[in-house]
A and B are shown apart, each in its own frame.
Chain A
Amino acid sequence: NAGVMQNPRHLVRRRGQEARLRCSPVKGHSHVYWYRQLPEEGLKFMVYLQKENIIDESGMPKERFSAEFPKEGPSILRIQQVVRGDSAAYFCASSPLQSENQPQHFGDGTRLSIL
Chain B
Amino acid sequence: ILNVEQSPQSLHVQEGDSTNFTCSFPSSNFYALHWYRWETAKSPEALFVMTLNGDEKKKGRISATLNTKEGYSYLYIKGSQPEDSATYLCAFKGGSGGSNYKLTFGKGTLLTVNP
Interface size class of A (residues with CB under 8 A): 20 to 34
Contact A101–B49 (Cβ < 8 Å):
yes
Chain B residues close to A by CB (< 8 Å): 4, 31-32, 34, 36, 41-46, 49, 51, 89, 91, 93, 99-108
Q: Is the CB of A42 within 8 A of B43?
A: no
Given the interface contacts A42-B106, A98-B101, does A103 sit within 8 Å of B34 by beta carbon? Answer: yes
**Chain A residues at the B interface, C-beta cutoff of 8 Å:** 3-4, 31, 33, 35, 41-45, 48, 55-56, 59, 91, 98-109
Complexed CA–CA distance, A33 and B44 (Å) = 14
19 A-B pairs besides A35-B105, A56-B102, A106-B44 with CB distance below 8 A are A4-B43, A33-B103, A41-B107, A42-B4, A42-B106, A43-B44, A43-B105, A45-B102, A55-B101, A56-B101, A59-B102, A91-B43, A99-B100, A100-B32, A102-B49, A106-B43, A106-B45, A107-B43, A109-B43
Number of A-B contacts (CB under 8 A): 62
A108 and B43 in contact (CB under 8 A), knowing A100-B51, A103-B49? Answer: yes
* A contact patch SS: loop
A-B residue pairs in contact (CB < 8 Å), sample of 13:
A33-B102, A42-B89, A43-B44, A43-B103, A45-B104, A48-B102, A55-B101, A56-B101, A100-B31, A100-B51, A101-B32, A102-B49, A108-B42
A111 to chain B, nearest CB (A): 10
